[in-house]
Each structure stands twice: as structure tokens, then as C-alpha cells.
């Protein structure tokens, strides 16, 4: 059974941050709307990275 299109996007490391985002100290945090992983992005970065693995 193939993965749903949204989960397939996450498997390709293209997470989609939700609308609810917090900004503390220049670091934005959000949850992926597809898989629920915690994401983060710094002020100088354009890409969301997985924060769950960073602790």
C-alpha cells in the first residue's frame, strides 16, 4: 500500500510547517502538518529542519 501524498512529501524531507508558529530568540518553531514532527528555522535559514532529532 503506497504512502499518502502528504506522508510521501515528508519522507522526501519536505515538511510543511503548520500555521501555529512560535518565534523565540530568532528561532521559529512549528509542527509539520503531515507527520507532526517538531520543526525549527533560524532567522538566516530558509529551510525548515527537524528539531525532534536535536533534542
Give the pLDDT score at 1.
47
Residue partners of 39: CB distance under 8 A and separation at least 6: 15, 17, 29, 30, 31, 32, 48, 49, 50, 51
Give the pLDDT score at 10.
74
pLDDT tens across 1-46, in order? 455 666 666 766 688 888 888 888 888 999 988 888 899 988 888 8
Give the pLDDT score at 54.
58
Query: How, if at all, do strands 27-31 and 38-42 pair?
Result: antiparallel
Name the residue with higher pLDDT: 55 or 14.
Answer: 14
Q: How far apart are CA 50 and CA 2, in angstroms?
A: 24
Amino acid at each position: 500500500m503506497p504512502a499518502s501524498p502528504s506522508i510521501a512529501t515528508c519522507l522526501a524531507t519536505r515538511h510543511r510547517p503548520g500555521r501555529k508558529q512560535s518565534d523565540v530568540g530568532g528561532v521559529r518553531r512549528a509542527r509539520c502538518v503531515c507527520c507532526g514532527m517538531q520543526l525549527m528555522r533560524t532567522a538566516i535559514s530558509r529551510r525548515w529542519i527537524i528539531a525532534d532529532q536535536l533534542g
